[in-house]
Structure formats: structure tokens, C-alpha cells
């Protein structure tokens, strides 16, 4: 059986090379229907954003203290701030603004190992909201309903990296009316607020650009994955991390010749993804990871293993057409599932992935480019306009509870 499957994979890869290299096949395929229209939208002229000027302790000083924040997967909050400062949608007149943006770098408190710990984030965010509500009138008239915040932690504005703790905390009460721009998305989850804009995690565009290999390089790896299978440090019993899905990948396929999987992270990681047909994108502590972005950029079909995941810009990117979705309980059948996909369907997924607009929408480039992730966020904000009648409160009306949430969050920041 293994020999047959290996032979099948080799034939399949050969078909990919022939198909993509021939003049008979289109190199790319346009995204059809409403998704393609949304992907190509231009938000300029459709909304105006006012950027609050906060003391530098909320953003620039934090970054100066630890520049590593510029490169980790939560860095979208930093680049979104920089983008908006020079964007044509920015207005210096708050009276004409459709949206208000508060630049707080809540993920830039790093451990010596470079891991963002969100424990101070609620106090920091609460402090910033107190500041804008005291110095400007705009928060108080809506209690944040026309404000948006970038909260790229594992579980967004629940501000914890372990799901049990995140659910216990819930979304920061003061953000209950605001629009959240967040990487986390899972249906029917406490930490996903209705109306949130789900964005891709940050992956460094320039770094990936330097690792591009010739387009006609054969995809000789059938299934590729590099990363943890067990997070022993945070999950000593080895069962809770990734809800057991990553452990199931390792236990079932570590000796399968179709699967190139390992915990080692080689210097050829990006090159290897460009040589692979399928790239596994399993959940970790949260449902998402930068692998999703990397797979799309490198034309490797993402195999998404994360039940009920809400994917970035789902109204613009046809994830069902470019990816493969595998239920967490079906991980032991991964080899059968992937070898059963018809070659012509795989070729179509690859042609869609080769569409430059698809790749562009997943990146936060410096400087910004048309159709990139910044613009997709603005498109999402523009589609929420005009604000409904429930946005503006009556004089003296209060909805948010400033004393709700864990006691520790009420301490000064």
C-alpha cells in the first residue's frame, strides 16, 4: 500500500510539473464571482479614519525597547499603525471620521525567548481607552462602536494564549462595542466577537521574497510540515496542545514516505514549501498559524486542520477552492484523504494559488501595495458603513461596565 501511494505521489507531482509548465494550462486563474470583486476593491474614497495620537509609551517606546516585535507573527498591529499614518484614508479632522483607531502595541511585551505574553495587555488597553475617553469626545458618544482595535494575540481580545484561560477571561469588557481586527477566528467561540475582521498573521514579505526558487522547480515533496507536535513546556501531559491533532499527525505518519514532517526547522524551510504539493496547517494553541500565509505565498496547497476555523478575509479569498479541510478527528486518515484528490482538482488549486492578488491579500508589505492585507482590512471596515442607528448613544446613556472583568485588569498600567 505504501509503495503504491508513493508511486501515486510521484506521478501526481510529475503531472503538476507538466501541467504548470505547458502552454496549454493557464498559469493562474482569476478568482471568480463576488470573491474576486471583493479582492480587487479599492477602499480609498469609501471611508475616513482618524488615528489617535497617544503618548509613545503605548507604542513607539515599547518597540524601541524590543525591536523583535517587528518580526513576530503578531506584528500586524505595528504595521497597521504605520500604514494608517500615511494612508490616503487618514483624516486629521475627527469630525469627518467614519472610524477611530487607537494604536496600542499590546503584543510587544516579550519574554527573553521572544514569546509575547499577553498578561499586561488588558491593563494597557484599558489605560489607552481611559485616555481617549478623557481627552476626546468621540469614544463617549458611541462607547467605542465606531472604533476599531488591532488585537492579534492567539485568542484576540481575550488576551491569553491558552484556550481554557482565554475563555475564562472573555473579551475585554471595554471592547464589547468596538470592531476587532484579529488573527483569531473560530465559529461560536467566546473570543470571536460578531463583526470582527479576521486577518492573516504577520509573515515577513521581504524575507520570503529572498527565498523564492524558480517557478518550474518540481514539487517532489507530497506532504510537508515543520513544527511542534507536543508542547511539553506548556502541556506536560501531551494531550491538550492542538487538541491532540498534531500528536496524531506524528504518531500516524512519522514513518510514512509521503510525509516529510519533523520538529526541526531547516534553513531551507521556505524552499522546501515551494517543493511541496501539500503543506499541513494544523491548529496549535489557537486555530491559526503563519503557515497558512506561507503556504499561500509559496503555492503549496494548505491542508487546514482546525475545526470551525474562521479564515482571513473569507469574503475575498475562496478558501474552500484553494485549500483542503480535514476534520481533527480524521487526521489518522490524512494519507488516504490527500492521495484521493484528483490531479485535475489539485492543478486547479495550484492555478488559483498562483494568482498574485491572492498572495498580495495575505501580506503586510512595507511600503503598502494595492490589494494587500492593509487594504483588505479597510475594505472590511468600509463594508460596515454606514453605521447603524444603534451606534450613537443617547445623552447620559451608558452600556459598558468599566469595573467588569478580572480584578488584576483594573490595576493601573
**pLDDT score of 111:** 82
Please state, as a whole number, how many other Cβ atoms lie within 10 Å of the Cβ of residue 66: 15
Torsions phi, psi of 186, nearest 5? -150, 130
Please state, as a whole number, how many other Cβ atoms lie within 10 Å of the Cβ of residue 119: 12
Question: Above 80 in pLDDT, residue 236?
Answer: no
**pLDDT score of 206:** 94
- Distance CA(82)–CA(109), nearest Å, equals 19
**pLDDT score of 16:** 45
Question: Above 80 in pLDDT, residue 404?
Answer: yes
pLDDT in tens, 117-160: 778 999 999 999 999 999 999 999 999 999 999 999 999 999 99
List the domain boundaries for the chain: 39-202+375-385, 205-363
Question: Above 50 in pLDDT, residue 223?
Answer: yes
pTM for this structure? 0.91
Instruction: Tell me the C-alpha to C-alpha distance, in Å, between residue 141 and each of 113, 175, 237.
Output: 42, 15, 49
pLDDT in tens, 2-46: 444 445 544 454 444 433 433 334 467 877 666 767 788 899 999
Domain 205-363 classified CATH 3.40.50?
yes
Neighbouring residues of 9: CB distance < 8 A, sequence distance ≥ 6: 222, 258, 277, 339
pLDDT in tens, 72-115: 999 999 999 999 999 999 999 999 999 999 999 999 988 888 77
Please state, as a whole number, how many other Cβ atoms lie within 10 Å of the Cβ of residue 108: 25
Residue 324 CA to its chain's centroid (Å): 17
**pLDDT score of 39:** 84
Residue 260 CA to its chain's centroid (Å): 25
- Distance CA(86)–CA(16), nearest Å, equals 42
**pLDDT score of 238:** 65
Q: What percent of the chain has pLDDT over 70?
A: 91
Q: Is the dihedral of CA 61, 150, 81, 368 positive or negative?
A: positive
**Long-range pairs for 208-215: beta carbons < 8 A, 24 or more residues apart:** 208/270, 208/294, 208/297, 208/298, 211/270, 211/271, 211/274, 212/274, 213/271, 213/274, 213/275, 215/20
**pLDDT score of 272:** 98
CA dihedral 358, 364, 369, 373 (to 10 degrees): 50
C-alpha angle with apex 219: 215 to 225, nearest 5 degrees? 115
Please state the rounded mean pLDDT for residues 306-323: 95
Question: Above 50 in pLDDT, residue 1?
Answer: no
Half-sphere exposure of residue 169: CA atoms within 13 angstroms, side-chain side: 24
Q: Name which residue leads in pLDDT, 24 or 334.
A: 334
Amino acid at each position: 500500500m505504501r509503495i503504491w501511494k508513493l508511486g501515486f505521489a510521484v506521478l501526481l507531482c510529475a503531472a503538476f510539473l507538466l501541467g504548470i509548465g505547458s502552454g496549454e494550462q493557464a498559469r493562474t486563474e482569476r478568482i471568480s464571482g463576488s470573491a474576486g470583486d471583493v479582492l480587487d476593491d479599492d477602499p480609498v474614497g469609501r471611508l475616513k479614519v482618524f488615528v489617535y495620537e497617544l503618548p509613545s509609551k503605548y507604542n513607539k517606546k515599547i518597540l524601541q525597547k524590543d525591536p523583535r516585535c517587528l518580526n513576530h507573527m503578531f506584528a500586524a498591529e505595528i504595521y497597521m499603525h504605520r500604514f494608517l499614518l500615511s494612508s490616503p484614508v487618514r483624516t486629521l479632522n475627527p469630525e469627518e471620521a467614519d472610524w477611530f483607531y487607537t494604536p496600542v502595541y499590546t503584543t510587544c511585551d516579550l519574554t527573553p525567548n521572544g514569546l509575547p505574553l499577553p498578561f499586561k495587555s488588558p491593563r494597557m488597553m484599558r489605560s489607552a481607552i481611559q485616555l481617549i475617553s478623557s481627552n476626546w469626545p468621540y469614544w463617549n458618544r458611541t462607547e467605542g462602536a465606531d472604533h476599531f482595535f488591532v488585537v492579534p494575540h492567539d485568542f484576540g481580545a481575550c488576551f491569553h494564549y491558552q484556550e481554557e484561560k482565554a475563555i475564562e477571561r472573555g473579551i475585554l469588557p471595554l471592547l464589547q462595542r468596538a470592531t476587532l481586527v484579529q488573527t483569531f477566528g473560530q465559529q461560536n467561540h467566546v473570543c470571536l466577537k460578531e463583526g470582527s475582521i479576521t486577518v492573516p498573521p504577520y509573515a515577513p514579505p521581504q524575507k520570503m521574497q529572498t527565498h523564492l526558487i524558480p517557478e518550474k522547480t518540481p514539487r517532489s515533496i507530497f506532504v510537508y510540515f515543520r513544527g511542534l507536535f507536543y508542547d511539553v513546556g506548556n502541556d506536560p501531559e501531551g494531550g491538550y496542545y492542538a487538541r491532540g491533532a498534531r500528536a496524531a499527525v506524528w504518531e500516524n505518519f512519522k514513518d510514512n514516505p509521503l510525509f516529510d514532517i519533523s520538529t526541526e526547522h531547516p534553513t531551507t524551510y521556505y524552499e522546501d514549501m515551494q517543493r511541496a504539493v501539500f503543506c499541513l496547517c494544523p491548529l496549535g494553541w489557537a486555530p491559526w498559524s503563519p503557515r497558512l500565509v506561507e503556504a499561500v505565498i509559496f503555492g503549496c496547497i494548505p491542508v487546514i486542520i482546525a475545526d470551525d476555523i474562521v479564515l482571513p478575509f473569507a469574503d475575498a479569498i475562496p478558501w474552500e477552492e484553494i485549500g483542503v479541510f480535514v476534520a481533527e478527528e480524521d487526521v489518522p486518515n490524512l494519507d488516504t484523504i490527500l492521495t484521493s484528490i484528483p490531479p485535475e482538482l489539485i492543478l486547479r488549486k495550484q492555478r488559483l494559488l498562483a494568482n498574485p492578488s491572492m498572495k498580495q491579500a495575505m501580506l503586510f508589505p512595507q511600503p503598502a501595495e494595492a490589494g494587500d492585507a492593509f487594504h483588505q482590512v479597510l475594505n472590511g471596515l468600509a463594508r460596515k458603513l454606514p453605521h447603524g442607528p444603534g451606534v450613537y448613544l443617547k445623552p447620559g446613556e451608558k452600556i459598558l461596565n468599566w469595573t467588569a472583568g478580572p480584578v488584576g485588569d483594573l490595576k493601573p498600567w
